Amino acid sequence: MPRSQGIPYEIHPSPKKDEKGQPLLYVRPLKRNKISMEGIEEFCHNHLALPLGEFKRVFIAFQEAAKWYLGDGMTVETPIGTFAPVIRLRREETDPKKITAKDVYFDTINFTPNKDFLLAVTERVRGFHKVSDACGNSQMYDKELMRRIVNNVLERGNGMITARQFQALSGLRYHSARQCLDDLCGGESPILQRDKMGRTYVYYRK
Domains and CATH numbers, the chain: 7-133 (4.10.520.10), 137-205 (1.10.10.10)
Q: What is the pLDDT of residue 140?
A: 59
Query: How many Å apart are CA 81 and CA 112, to the nearest integer?
Result: 5
Q: Mention every residue, 6+ apart, whose C-beta is less than 8 A from residue 147.
A: 184, 191
Q: What is the pLDDT of residue 148?
A: 84
Task: From first to last of the 206 residues of the chain, give the pLDDT tens digit.
Answer: 666 678 998 888 777 888 887 778 889 888 777 899 999 999 999 999 999 999 999 999 999 999 999 999 999 999 999 999 999 999 888 999 999 999 999 999 999 999 999 999 999 998 998 877 666 665 555 677 788 888 888 887 678 888 888 888 877 778 778 888 888 888 777 888 888 877 788 898 87
